[in-house]
Structure 1
Amino acid sequence: MHGVKRVRYSKEALEAKREREQAKLKEYLALTGEVLSRKQTNDLSREAFDETTRLLRVNPEFYTVWNYRRQILERELFPKSSASDANDLLAEDLNLTTALLKQHPKVYWIWNHRRWCLEQVPDGPTEDDSNGWRMANWNKELFVVEKMLEADARNFHAWNYRRYVLATMPVRRSELSELAYTKRKIEANFSNFSAWHQRSKVLATLWENNALDPVKSKEDEYDLVKNAMYTDPGDQSVWIYHRWLVGEGESAPLLRREIESIQELLDEQPDSKWCMESLVHYKRLLLQKHGDALTSEERASLVEDCAKLLGELQTLDPARRQRYKELSESIGKL
């Protein structure tokens, strides 16, 4: 790469490097053999448990070892532990996975083990504090996952885990708080598809529970998404969310309004593929859902507009030329 000084290694240095790598590989294979041998003989000792720790630090994608580790905890360590000791064991495993996630934030098996740990947390030390340990662990999880999303706001593993935590914790967090959280993430980066997706889930719940005025809140969403469209008309995440939002209504006045708004943006950004695709999508919806209420002239105009846009898309996006051709052929049948 330009600006990067190329380092030349001597033959001796390269050989030494190769030998170090071979030694590490030999050590890893020996440790793997030892752990799998213990598993085969149903060894549930603390020594076997500690060896799974060593191996998982090297290879956290080794799901068989995660399964073996859980067997040792369930069948040997937990039965011999007090509630307090069991909680300490689980806290250690949560700390282990936290450390691993810093290096491997998108390894499914690490996130999966965290879920399992939370589900094993025993009741608190007294009846009056039966959820004390549980809530402490769940609140910590929310903090951890927010830190992970600060590091990578589009990590879909972290977003999926966040949804799990919010849905499972003993004292639920307000959906309105989560709505505000997703807005902060979106405003920080409009291309955060996972945050848009989370927002759609939260809004659907709020509307279903009548916890939010659907008319006003939907208009607020159109303002948010329009701002995102004009900021970056080439971002796919925004357009997918817009289609979800329109899909919550699809009335003729709404479709006409959004078509007009997108056309204004296309006039400013004449090469915007997503503007063109969305105009075709919504004009087809208008024909499909409200065709009976249209005059023959209106129908003909919509068909002509779609055909023209699809022709331009074939030139602008040749990789999907066949798809646009097929869409164009289907327009006349609406």
Structure 2
Amino acid sequence: MVSNSIREIRPYLLRVLDDIFKNPPRPPKFISEDFPSVALLVDATTVRCSVPVGDFDDARQLFDGHHNSYSMKFEVAVSAWPPFKALFVSDSVPGGFHDVSLFRSGKHRYIEYLKKTEEEKIGNSVHDQNDSWSIMADKGYQGHFIDINVITPIKRIHKAIKTLNEKESQLTELESIQTLSSSQPSSFSSSQPSFSSPSVSPLLSSNSTSSQLSSISFPTEDLQVVPAAVMVNSTQSGSTSSKAGTSVMSTKEAEIYNKKVAKHRIPVEWFFVRLKRLWLRLSDKYTGSREVFSSDAKIACWLTNIVIDSNSLEADDGIFYRKVEEFSNRKEKERKLIQEINARASMERKMIRKASK
């Protein structure tokens, strides 16, 4: 009876809420000193669903390797200023979709909104001279975006530094071989059998090798490659760059920068916590039909906005979120352990039957 009523009400409720929140508010003139151009905090959340029965391809798309479960996923863009309400909610996708793929498929929703009006351009702060607002996201959103500015934590390049050091040692070794082969006396070649010298590319000859080594600057400490779009929006990073290039900063600077990014994007995590505290249907395991999951997710987000108007997001939402995550992970481990025990018991019973025959 209740489920039939919900099925009847759902489309009308979604239509009403979409009309209420279809025109998101514009960003204020001042948002933050560290990231003055960030207007949206974007992240995706997953909700576990029932194990699919039937088509293998369908099951494979639903499986989320990061959370090791079958799930559905949707993306939310939260305002970067208080009260941190959801401005955009995407349609749902299977849990196997990567966050970047989900973002690319729906970024057209953000591009028009992020364009600054003439009034907003005039009111730009000293540290924010961009013609459009930016988006802040986590490391899962790292990628090259031409038509939109996305600020993410800095990516490490330990492997790249190791590769450079290996190339330096190889070039040094080739240079020493060339030096030894050119310094052999002429009488040695007439009295001894001739050996063919190592074949070295003209690009790695003695002169070119020296020039290459002198032109390469190897880092003396661990460095980080920073996307230029990130550096344009940072006022405390210590180095800047144009949108087309990249910048390099030390590990200590990178850690400081990452902490600032993490602190700035906390509200989107708080929003997900409040969302799952209010709507248990999205907190642990979604038992409804996957065809209506997008509608339920959007309705829940819009209704959460209404709740936030009267009860703002707080730090205890983050504490609750961590407790929910720990509880969910513990339950998942227990479930898998029970499955493993049952599988072993079934295998032992089969072996006993086979031995008795």
Question: Shorter-normalised TM-score: what interval?
Answer: under 0.3
Flag the structure with more relative contact order, 1 or 2, with Cα contacts below 8 A and sequence separation at least 6: 2
Query: TM-score, normalized by length of structure 1?
Result: 0.24
The structure where helix makes up a greater share of residues is: 1
Query: TM-score, normalized by length of structure 2?
Result: 0.22
